[in-house]
Amino acid sequence: MKKKKLLFLYIAGGMIWIFGTNFLLDFAPAPFVYEVERFKEIFYVAISGWFFYFYISKAEELNASKQDEKRLSTLINAMVDFVNFKDGEGRWIEANEFGLKFFQLENVDYRGKKDSELAKYTDFYGDALRYCEISDEETWQHGKVTSMEEIIPQPDGTNKTFDTIKVPLFNNDGSRKGLVIIGRDITERKQMENLLQESRQQYKSLFEYNPDIVTMLDLNGNITNVNPQCKIITGYDASEFIGKNIKGLLPNLKKFILETIQKVIFDKKPELFELEIVHKLGHNITLHCTALPIIVNGEISGIICYGRDVTQLKMTEERLRRTEKLSVVGELSASVAHEIRNPLTSLKGFVQLLQMEDEKHQLYYKIMTDELNRINHIVGELLLLAKPQRINFTKANVQQILSDIVSLLQTEASMYNVDMNFSSTEEELWIECEPNQLKQLFVNVIKNALEASTNGGKVSISLENGTDENVWITVNDDGCGISKERLEKIGEPFYSSKEKGTGLGLTVSYKIVQAHNGKITFKSELNHGTAVNIKLPISHSR
């Protein structure tokens, strides 16, 4: 249509120019007619040429502009991001297909309309479009490129997260020219980040709050990380381990540790083992360990080791084992003791009768009586182990009990050539106890000390009033001492190093102390003597 108008104007203008100039030539002076005719022709050609050049240039520019617009439209429509161009007033100039489809504006003539106007065409995204005007204004106020995360609800009840970049454009005079908006859907990335963060938090909780020691090693056995539980169980801070090689920390188990690491690496299977290590305070602790390979992308990158403190469990198992043994001994003792005591009474009576009638063999009768008394004493100990004895607690002066026992055993100390002395507080110490059982306890412990300190040894017995509502009795000797192996088995029935020992004396002693809610401990070193510490409460909860 425009081309036809231009052609009509060009023809009409040419006719007017030709007839008009010819008409004017009739009035022109004769000498100038020829020059005017040539000038009007040249002028007409120049004007025509300029007209065609202008038209062709404009046509080319228009065509190039349309091609650029087509390329830009193709480019932004190919993008998976939301792209939107607005003018300085916030009116939409161009938007890609993704954005129109997302906001349900595919069939809407959006150009020249603001967000609030377009909000009328989509019920669900109306609020989101109206909020865009607010965030656009904030970008204009800042006057620079802004980036933000926007969460947009979806019709299906889910949310989509967009990383939105807004670029404000200004004219030279500072007025608003336009706004470029690009929004990328980062919903999946945010979900992955949240899952990764959740996984990290779970790992952190599993590592830091694990009740067991968690140690991470590289393939060379160097410790890369240790959880805080390490300090609670071992007394050592994690920084004292990190960076060090585990073989250097446990030199006595170097070969075992090396073999375990190699098994985990080559077999790619967990290894279970127990370690006994020394606490920072000096006592031993037992760890039940599980070593697992750390596999990343199918390759072993290190080893993670869990160490559970089973020291108390081991002690409980040992106590249970001893209890079971005592239970078996008790059942055996109950049957054996009664079977022995009946004929024993008869034998003892006949020996006493013969001793009265036969003066010639008094020595033999004395030996027989002593041995029968010894058998009777053993039977008594067996009966004590056979079943729990009901204890009638009474107030007794423990100082007097100890003093009587020391006096009783003074003769025996002289026989062994042992210097025995007893020290106590000046005040009387009264406790709730069963006096006869305490006498048996003190006799057993002190006699053991005397027998271990023969030939010029010393035995000291002390009694102290503790500050914790307990009395402390200590029996020290400088005798042969007890080896570590024997010390671990002290108190077990029938375990004795004496030639004629039954192994029941200390078992009974343990039982008596336990019945009194007390505690008995042994400290000994081979050839350097033994110290027995007995703690007894002053009063009992009946």
Residues 184 and 223 in one domain: no
Q: What is the mean pLDDT of the chain?
A: 78
C-alpha distances (whole Å) from 428 to each of 400, 402, 464, 538 are 8, 12, 10, 12
Residues 428 and 532 occupy one common structural domain: yes
Tokens encoding 381:
């100990």
Contact 156, 141 (CB under 8 A): no
The pLDDT tens digits for 328-352 are: 666 666 666 656 766 777 777 877 8
Say how far apart CA 82 and CA 152 lie, in whole Å.
Answer: 13
Among residues 386, 407, 440, which one ends one of the domains? 386
Higher pLDDT, 36 or 90: 90
What is the number of H-type helices and E-type strands within the chain? 15, 17
Q: Indicate if 422 and 514 belong to the same structural domain.
A: yes
Could you read off the pLDDT of 422-474 as tens digits, one per residue? 888 878 888 888 888 888 888 888 888 888 887 778 899 999 887 778 899 99
Whether 179 and 247 share a structural domain = no
pTM of the shown model: 0.46
398 contacts 430 by C-beta, under 8 angstroms: yes
Overall average pLDDT of the 22-39 stretch:
55
pLDDT of residue 295 exceeding 80 = yes
Instruction: Identify the pLDDT of residue 18.
Output: 61
The pLDDT score that the predictor gives to residue 323 is 66
Please check whether residues 256 and 186 belong to one and the same domain: no
What dihedral angle (degrees, nearest 10) is formed by the CA atoms of 345, 348, 349, 354? Answer: 160
CATH code of the domain in which 183 resides:
3.30.450.20
Residue 213 tokens, joined: 């020691």
Residue 516 lies in a domain: yes
Q: What is the pLDDT of residues 113-129, one digit of tens each?
A: 999 999 888 888 888 88
Cα–Cα dist 200/371, whole Å: 76
pLDDT at 477 over 50: yes
What are phi and psi for residue 433, nearest 5 degrees?
A: -160, 180
Residues 338 and 453 in one domain: no
Could you tell me if 381 and 360 are in contact, meaning their C-beta atoms sit under 8 angstroms apart?
A: no
**pLDDT tens, residue by residue, 236-271:** 888 888 888 887 787 777 788 888 888 888 888 888
pLDDT band with cut points at 50, 70 and 90 for residue 3: low
Is residue 27 exposed (0-12), middle (13-18) or buried (19+ Cβ within 10 Å)? Answer: exposed
Asked if residue 199 belongs to a domain, the reply is: no
501 pLDDT above the threshold of 50: no
Residue 189 to residue 352: CA distance in whole angstroms: 102
Mean pLDDT confidence for 220-233: 88
Domain boundary among 309, 340, 355: 309
| 491 φ/ψ angles, rounded to the nearest 5 degrees | 100, -10
Is the model more confident about 45 or about 458? 458
Residues 284 and 258 in one domain: yes
pLDDT band at 91 (very low <50, low <70, confident <90, very high): very high
Q: Are residues 406 and 480 in the same domain?
A: yes
Is 230 a domain residue? yes
Q: Which residues contact 247 (CB under 8 A, 6 or more apart)?
A: 221, 254, 257, 258
pLDDT at 83 over 80: yes
Residues 371 and 425 in one domain: no
Q: How confident is the model at residue 542, as a pLDDT?
A: 45
362 vs 170: which has the higher pLDDT: 170
Residues 33 and 102 in one domain: no
Q: Measured between alpha carbons, how far is 448 from 324 in angstroms, rounded to an integer?
A: 26
> Radius of gyration of the chain from Cα atoms?
54
Domain assignment present for 126: yes
Q: How far apart are CA 254 and CA 261, in angstroms?
A: 11
Q: Are residue 116 and residue 133 in the same domain, yes or no?
A: yes
Given this model, what pLDDT does residue 499 score?
44
CA dihedral 181, 186, 187, 189 (to 10 degrees): -170
Domain final residue, candidates 50, 74, 98: 74
